[in-house]
Amino acid sequence: MLILHKNNNINGLMDADAIIIGAGACGLMCAVQAGYLGRRVILLEKNEQPGAKILISGGGRCNYTNLFATDEQFISGNKHFVKSAFTQWTVADTISFFETYGINGREKTLGQLFPESNNARDIVAVFTSLCEDLGQQLICGVSITDIDILEDGFAVKYDKGPKSRILKAPKLVIATGGLPIPKMGATDFALRFARKQGLKIAETAPALVPLTITGKEEDWYARLSGNSVFCRVSNEHIAFEENILFTHWGLSGPAILQISSYWKRGEVFNIDLLPGQNITALLEEERKQNGKSLLSTFFNHLYPKKFTDAMARFLPVEKQVASLTRAEMEQIAQIIHQFKVKPAGDKGYDKAEVMRGGIDTSELSSKTLECKKIPGLYFGGECVDVTGWLGGYNFQWAWASGFVIADNL
């Protein structure tokens, strides 16, 4: 049993020290940490089970943090906002928290940490068993119908099946996540509630999302569907070196998901199809060594064959390398190092991993995540205007914000 300082002094009119709405990554961490501190919370969850997004994360394996996470990999209206939370709850804290409960991390790539078991269920199980041990009450399958702000706290009304109930607590935590994957229970609850209270919302949009290509370009991309190429994808804000994946409707793959968080409709971004190398220098060398070879043969050493075939649209792939003119060499360099893409749009919240925007950080204390205008009200996790890169960063924010809130309940 892990009960440390169980608080039995809850005011008779109150049902708990705090009510947490949303039993996802942030809400679960908050409940557990509050339990360690002797605070009794009630977690209200819409789904029949907690942690739905944890279960599907990282392809069911849950990339639960990133070894290199700092405040630099987060997008927010206030780039300094996450600093306090990340000082209070570090990556090392995440790692040792899970190790304490038998989950050792294994780095896959670029600092991305997954449980050794490769099973996201193990992560959720840590929280469900700790909630039970700590006496934190988890009520699933609820529908919140109203929230009243009282003089001494909050009254949350909810339905569960045919029954309605009102719970009261001096503190209220909203950890209902973002808009992606509505079929998994995602709602705009936090945004609606915040708007109703007159709180500012930073404009929301799907992020870490595949991008679509339509019009006369569409066929070209569709023909390359299934092919993956290591690239440097960049715009005026940022650059990412990872794979891109061609699909029958456009582009996906880690580098595209990353840039999507920095992309707005109508903008063009750049793809360097041979990052860290110079195609002109490679071709000059090829001219000397093997000038009679075709450009297509040369490309086949660098790219999937289908990609070389598709390059015929832009480049004289059936010409011998030695006979390429200066203008053709320049054109090749242009296409390979500065391939321009203007997506038509994105695949929306059905396919996005996170939501950009959310509760404006100016409404919250960065130290406690308490709402400045409504004392006792806290927002944590994805519903706040903090969006991490792909690779475990978003969970690091969810854990950190849950911890920080718990520390202040």
Ligand X SMILES: Cc1cc2nc3c(=O)[nH]c(=O)nc-3n(C[C@H](O)[C@H](O)[C@H](O)COP(=O)(O)OP(=O)(O)OC[C@H]3O[C@@H](n4cnc5c(N)ncnc54)[C@H](O)[C@@H]3O)c2cc1C
Residue 267 or 350: the one with the smaller Cβ distance to ligand X is 350
The span from the CA of 282 to the CA of 265, in Å, is 35
Q: Which of 130, 175, 311, 315 binds ligand X (CB under 6 A)?
A: 175
Residue nearest to ligand X (CB): 24
With b for 16 or more beta-carbon neighbours within 10 A and e for fewer, the 257-281 pattern comes to bbbbbbbeeeeebbbbbbbeeebee
Residue 123 or 134: the one with the smaller Cβ distance to ligand X is 123
- Report residue 233 as tokens: 């994808």
Give the CB-side neighbour count of residue 52, counting CA atoms within 13 A.
20
Question: How many residues bind to ligand X according to rule CB under 6 A?
Answer: 36
According to CB under 6 A, which residues from 26 to 85 bind ligand X? 26-27, 44-47, 52-53, 56-58, 62-63
Q: Which of 31, 34, 144, 199 binds ligand X (CB under 6 A)?
A: 144
**Any contact of residue 381 with ligand X (CB under 6 A)?**
yes
**Any contact of residue 206 with ligand X (CB under 6 A)?**
no
Name the burial class of residue 368, with classes exposed (0-12), middle (13-18) and buried (19+) by CB atoms within 10 angstroms of its CB. middle
**Any contact of residue 346 with ligand X (CB under 6 A)?**
no
Q: Which of 95, 110, 155, 181 binds ligand X (CB under 6 A)?
A: 181
**Any contact of residue 23 with ligand X (CB under 6 A)?**
yes
**Any contact of residue 357 with ligand X (CB under 6 A)?**
no
**Any contact of residue 126 with ligand X (CB under 6 A)?**
no
Give the CB-side neighbour count of residue 176, counting CA atoms within 13 A.
25
**Neighbouring residues of 299: CB distance < 8 A, sequence distance ≥ 6:** 307, 308, 311, 317
Which window, 15-23, 243-251, 256-264, 318-326, contacts ligand X (CB under 6 A)?
15-23
The span from the CA of 202 to the CA of 359, in Å, is 6
**Any contact of residue 369 with ligand X (CB under 6 A)?**
no
Cα distance between the two ends of the chain:
22
Tell whether the torsion through CA atoms of 83, 87, 92 and 97 is positive or negative.
negative
Whether residue 231 contacts residue 244, with contact meaning beta carbons closer than 8 Å, is answered with yes
Q: Which of 141, 185, 275, 345 binds ligand X (CB under 6 A)?
A: 185
Q: Which residues bind ligand X (CB under 6 A)?
A: 21-27, 44-47, 52-53, 56-58, 62-63, 144, 175-177, 180-181, 185, 187, 189, 353-354, 381-382, 392-395, 398
